[in-house]
Amino acid sequence: MKDLEVLNVPVTAGRSSQIVVAGAGYAGLHVVLRLTARLRNNPVVELTLVDRHDYHQVLTELPRVAGGTRATDAVRLPLQDMLAKRVRFVQAEINGFDLAGRRLLTGAGPIGWGRLVLALGSRPNDFAIPGLAQRTLSLYSSSDAERVWAAASKALTVAAAAADPERQRRLATVVIGGGGATGVELAGELAEILPEAAKCHGLAPDRPAVQLVEAGPTILAGSSPQLIEKAARILSDLGVQVHTNARIAAATEQGFRLTDGQLVEGGVFVWAGGLKAPELVADSGLPTGRNGRVKVDRYLRVLDHPEIYAAGDLASVPDPRTGHVLPPLAQVALEEGETVARNLDAELNGRPLEAFTFHDKGSVVSVGTRRGVADIAGITTGGQLAHLLKDAIEWEYRQSVRHLRGWDPVAR
């Protein structure tokens, strides 16, 4: 049964008929798609979506772009194909907030809101490790993924031109910092692709290598031991060298210098070791918690700012069952987006707000181009089935965003 409480914020605060959603990622786009359906009979409400890009990025597919098996454009879904006519889309950089004046400050001018939804995602967290931001690539946008593949390809060309095999090996090695799902997926993808790609660059296929450096005792921290073991086995099978309990002290010109003094050398360095909220949010004056994520109440309204909702990676949403803040995941962002849409609709119709509850659907991680691991309903699988499952989830997601406009199976 849903947890309901009577709304105590006046619907008329500000111009409540103006709803502005900042960010067209997993959370923001879903707020807009779900709300469009619910507002079908309410033409007075103005719904505005703001993003720096005119496309939605399918971030879960970035490791494939970074591994050269998927084109960059294939993970950029044009917003105009997804938004109903009544949604005003503003393509602009958001530069700040005028909280007192209830205005979003953007490159296209200020945009007033009655209700604001903050869904600006996250950015890499380098934990102030010296040299990391300057010497590593990240993997948090389709352009990032394109850069990773370009750097890996260039490294193969440079390695092919080197004389001795040792130097070739070093130049053609990709080192990935962070053994979470992003690091594991990228490592698997590259380990499978690089030997093939090497041949096209006139380099022996046994020269490229992939190293995965993780500060904690295990990759895929927080997953079941069975899933971790299966993933580690596939990575090992693909030739990925995994370093655990390997904390990076600095990124130098030679490579990652670990706290025990060891140097992990390579030709390309990617950082996938952590996330934090966008600087814009951290500097906004809104209440923030760990990694700058915005603190919200159980209805996903920002603490002390009931006219602002936050969803997705930038929201700090504790799971009442565990007490831990929910991880930055697409499935969390989607569920939060749906709750925010329902609560905005409830506000407009004078209904009680609904508390957010996360329904974990399990986890699926691809490891290489054909295999993967999955933990669903307490059952762990590894191999081709898990990879097919990942493909199916991504296919289903693409279908849903394309066809959702104006449709909501649970609209009341």
Task: Please report whether residue 388 would count as binding ligand FAD according to CB under 6 A.
Answer: no
Instruction: Give the one residue of 26, 97, 149, 356 binding ligand FAD; rule: CB under 6 A.
Output: 26
Which residue's CB is nearer to ligand FAD, number 26 or number 169? Answer: 26
How many angstroms separate the CA atoms of 353 and 300, rounded? 10
Q: Are 308 and 294 in contact (CB under 8 A)?
A: no
Shortest gap between Cβ of 311 and ligand FAD (angstroms)?
Answer: 7
Binding to ligand FAD, residues 184-203 (CB under 6 A): none
With CB under 6 A as the contact rule, which of the stretches 52-60, 96-104, 226-234, 401-409 interacts with ligand FAD?
52-60
**Could you say which DSSP state residue 351 is in?**
P
Which residue's CB is nearer to ligand FAD, number 24 or number 35? Answer: 24
Task: Please report whether residue 233 would count as binding ligand FAD according to CB under 6 A.
Answer: no
Task: Please report whether residue 329 would count as binding ligand FAD according to CB under 6 A.
Answer: yes
Shortest gap between Cβ of 328 and ligand FAD (angstroms)?
Answer: 4
With CB under 6 A as the contact rule, which of the stretches 198-206, 233-241, 328-336, 338-346 interacts with ligand FAD?
328-336
Shortest gap between Cβ of 60 and ligand FAD (angstroms)?
Answer: 4
Task: Please report whether residue 278 would count as binding ligand FAD according to CB under 6 A.
Answer: yes
Quote the tokens at residue 259.
Answer: 């706290």
Task: Please report whether residue 120 would count as binding ligand FAD according to CB under 6 A.
Answer: yes
Burial class (CB in 10 A: 0-12, 13-18, 19+), 375: buried
Helix (H) / strand (E) element for 331: namely helix 330-348
Burial class (CB in 10 A: 0-12, 13-18, 19+), 253: exposed
Instruction: Give the one residue of 328, 368, 372, 382 binding ligand FAD; rule: CB under 6 A.
Output: 328
Task: Kindly state the number of chain residues that form the binding site for ligand FAD, as judged by CB under 6 A.
Answer: 32
Task: Please report whether residue 220 would count as binding ligand FAD according to CB under 6 A.
Answer: no
Residues whose CB is less than 8 angstroms from the CB of residue 236 and which lie 6 or more positions away in sequence, other chains included? 242
Task: Please report whether residue 51 would count as binding ligand FAD according to CB under 6 A.
Answer: yes
Quote the tokens at residue 248.
Answer: 């990076």
Shortest gap between Cβ of 335 and ligand FAD (angstroms)?
Answer: 10
Tell me the longest C-alpha to C-alpha distance in the chain. 73
Task: Please report whether residue 77 would count as binding ligand FAD according to CB under 6 A.
Answer: no
Using alpha carbons, list the distances in angstroms from residue 44 to 13, 80, 82.
16, 22, 21
Which residue's CB is nearer to ligand FAD, number 45 or number 58? Answer: 58
Q: Are 223 and 160 in contact (CB under 8 A)?
A: no
Which residue's CB is nearer to ligand FAD, number 119 or number 300? Answer: 119
Task: Please report whether residue 303 would count as binding ligand FAD according to CB under 6 A.
Answer: no
Shortest gap between Cβ of 202 and ligand FAD (angstroms)?
Answer: 30
Which residue's CB is nearer to ligand FAD, number 234 or number 333? Answer: 333
CA 23 to chain centre: 13
Task: Please report whether residue 271 would count as binding ligand FAD according to CB under 6 A.
Answer: no
Task: Please report whether residue 180 would count as binding ligand FAD according to CB under 6 A.
Answer: no
How many angstroms separate the CA atoms of 82 and 348, rounded? 24
Instruction: Give the one residue of 19, 65, 77, 94 binding ligand FAD; rule: CB under 6 A.
Output: 94
How many angstroms separate the CA atoms of 155 and 162, rounded? 11
Which residue's CB is nearer to ligand FAD, number 297 or number 391? Answer: 391
Which residue intervals of 238-296 are DSSP H helices? 279-282
With CB under 6 A as the contact rule, which of the stretches 71-79, 322-330, 351-359, 374-382 interacts with ligand FAD?
322-330
Give residue number: closest CB to ligand FAD. 25
Shortest gap between Cβ of 55 and ligand FAD (angstroms)?
Answer: 8
Task: Please report whether residue 361 would count as binding ligand FAD according to CB under 6 A.
Answer: no
Instruction: Give the one residue of 36, 39, 63, 307 binding ligand FAD; rule: CB under 6 A.
Output: 63
DSSP states of 95-160 as a string? EEEETTTTEEEETTEEEE-SEEEE----EE--TT-TTHHHH-EE-SSHHHHHHHHHHHHHHHHHHH
Quote the tokens at residue 216.
Answer: 């904690």
**Could you say which DSSP state residue 352 is in?**
P
Residues whose CB is less than 8 angstroms from the CB of residue 72 and which lie 6 or more positions away in sequence, other chains included? 65, 142, 143, 145, 146
How far separated are the first and last CA of the chain, in Å rounded? Answer: 16
Which residues of the shown chain bind ligand FAD in the complex (CB under 6 A)?
Answer: 23-28, 51-53, 57, 59-60, 62-63, 93-94, 119-121, 139-140, 181-182, 278, 280, 312-313, 328-331, 333
